[in-house]
């Protein structure tokens, strides 16, 4: 197999950032799959075929892997998924990093996380909107432009003839008629086509991503359930990025095909190891080696991660002050000086990692 680090003519900065955004955005990793899958035949779930890029690096570029590991080691709060939150006079709460996937390796909590979840009185996820279909539909109906082109623009009107051919071919391979998505904003469609076929099939068949699984179990146990964002908050963040970024992410995701599965498999492997801080450096290494322009990454990170970290931390604070909460957000929101862990510390809480 060719190394991911010599595919200079294939890798796209936008396509790989798209994978990060899917695992930062709760809504886009689940609801869009269900939306597009509605009415399609339910086939048997295909086997997952992605192979970890970590294996390629270890075998072919161990020095590069060591450099990435050293870079990740410098990121604060980047090597744990579960954090105990304490404040004097308040019952402890917990912060947990999720991955918005149905993969069994992701949805099986560690014993410590399972205990924290079971003992919590309140469970918090990024958004509860998608748990109430009527509420979600009403919210989206107020801002249809977040999902669809509401003027004469179509998806294909933004594409070159070459890119349109790539789109048509990629959709045909997935059994999606172009006419059925022609008015859909590119980030909506991209959220689906970037996922592995096995993950797509599981979600379409009704398997819940980890966050939804936690929410459903919390409701069944009679726990209070709360959200930190709305559907429109999440889609608005994605929609604020330049249209060209989204177009390139969609087209390149289709062009890369199965190779995107390898990156997703790598992200799952790092999540299992709780090596969250390695995800972004690894993706940056891939895109830089491929000659991609990473100059726009700062804007992407500010919009999709940093700004939302501030919102999550501020909205979580009053819930933490009531004690006994289990707060589950995308794991990429935890690390770094602007991550949710550090923001809560600066707000006066004591956070310690739990194994």
Round to whole Å and give the CA distance between 35 and 141: 15
Distance of CA 300 to the CA centre of its chain: 13
Contacts of 353 (CB under 8 A, 6+ apart): 77, 79, 80, 82, 83, 84
Round to whole Å and give the CA distance between 67 and 226: 40
pLDDT of res. 272: 96
Round to whole Å and give the CA distance between 177 and 156: 13
Round to whole Å and give the CA distance between 49 and 307: 34
CA atoms 224, 226, 231, 234: torsion sign: negative
Q: Quick one: 240 exposed, middle or buried, by C-beta within 10 A (0-12, 13-18, 19+)?
A: exposed
pLDDT of res. 288: 58
Rg for the chain, CA atoms, rounded = 20
Cα angle 144, 148, 153 (rounded to 5 degrees) comes to 125
Q: Which residues of the chain have pLDDT under 50?
A: 1-11, 290-295
pLDDT of res. 10: 39
pLDDT of res. 70: 95
| Residue-wise pLDDT tens digits, 247-280 | 888 888 888 777 788 888 999 999 999 999 999 8
Place of tokens 């062009």: 255
pLDDT of res. 104: 95
Specify the length of the chain in residues: 355
Please state the domain extents for the chain.
9-354
Cβ atoms of residues 191 and 29 within 8 Å: yes
Percent of the chain at pLDDT exceeding 70 = 88
Helix, strand, or coil here: 13? helix
pLDDT of res. 76: 97
pLDDT of res. 37: 62
| Residue-wise pLDDT tens digits, 58-88 | 999 899 999 999 999 999 999 999 999 999 9
Helix, strand, or coil here: 284? helix
Q: Quick one: 311 exposed, middle or buried, by C-beta within 10 A (0-12, 13-18, 19+)?
A: middle
CB count in 10 Å sphere of residue 177: 10
Round to whole Å and give the CA distance between 177 and 25: 26
What backbone torsions phi and psi does residue 125 show, to the nearest 5 degrees? -125, 175
Cβ atoms of residues 324 and 313 within 8 Å: no
């Amino acid at each position: 197999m060719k190394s991911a680090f010599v595919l200079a003519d294939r890798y796209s900065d936008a396509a790989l950032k798209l994978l990060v955004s899917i695992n930062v955005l709760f809504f886009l990793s689940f609801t869009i799959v269900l939306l597009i899958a509605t009415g399609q035949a339910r086939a048997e779930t295909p086997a997952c075929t992605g192979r970890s890029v970590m294996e390629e690096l270890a075998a072919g570029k161990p020095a590069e892997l060591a450099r990435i590991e050293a870079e990740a080691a410098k990121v604060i709060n980047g090597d744990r998924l579960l954090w105990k939150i304490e404040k004097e006079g308040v019952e402890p709460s917990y912060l947990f990093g999720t991955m918005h996937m149905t993969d069994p390796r992701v949805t099986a909590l560690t014993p410590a996380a399972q205990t924290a979840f079971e003992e919590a009185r309140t469970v918090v996820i990024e958004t509860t909107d998608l748990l109430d279909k009527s509420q979600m539909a009403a919210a989206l109906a107020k801002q249809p432009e977040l999902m669809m082109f509401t003027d004469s623009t179509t998806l294909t009107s933004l594409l070159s003839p070459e890119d349109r051919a790539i789109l048509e071919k990629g959709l045909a391979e997935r059994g999606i008629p172009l006419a059925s998505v022609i008015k859909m904003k590119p980030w909506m469609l991209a959220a689906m086509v970037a996922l592995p076929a096995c993950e797509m099939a599981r979600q379409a068949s009704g398997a819940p991503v980890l966050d939804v699984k936690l929410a459903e179990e919390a409701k069944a146990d009679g726990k209070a359930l709360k959200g930190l964002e709305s559907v429109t908050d999440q889609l608005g963040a994605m929609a604020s990025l330049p249209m060209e970024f989204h177009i390139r992410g969609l087209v390149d995701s289709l062009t890369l095909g199965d190779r995107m599965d390898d990156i997703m498999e790598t992200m799952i492997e790092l999540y299992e190891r709780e090596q969250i801080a390695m995800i972004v450096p690894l993706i940056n290494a891939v895109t830089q080696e491929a000659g991609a322009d990473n100059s726009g990454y700062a804007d992407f990170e500010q919009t999709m991660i940093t700004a939302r970290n501030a919102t999550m931390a501020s909205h979580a604070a009053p819930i933490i002050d009531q004690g006994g909460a289990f707060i589950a957000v995308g794991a990429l929101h935890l690390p770094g000086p602007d991550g949710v862990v550090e923001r809560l510390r600066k707000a006066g809480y004591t956070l310690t990692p739990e194994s």
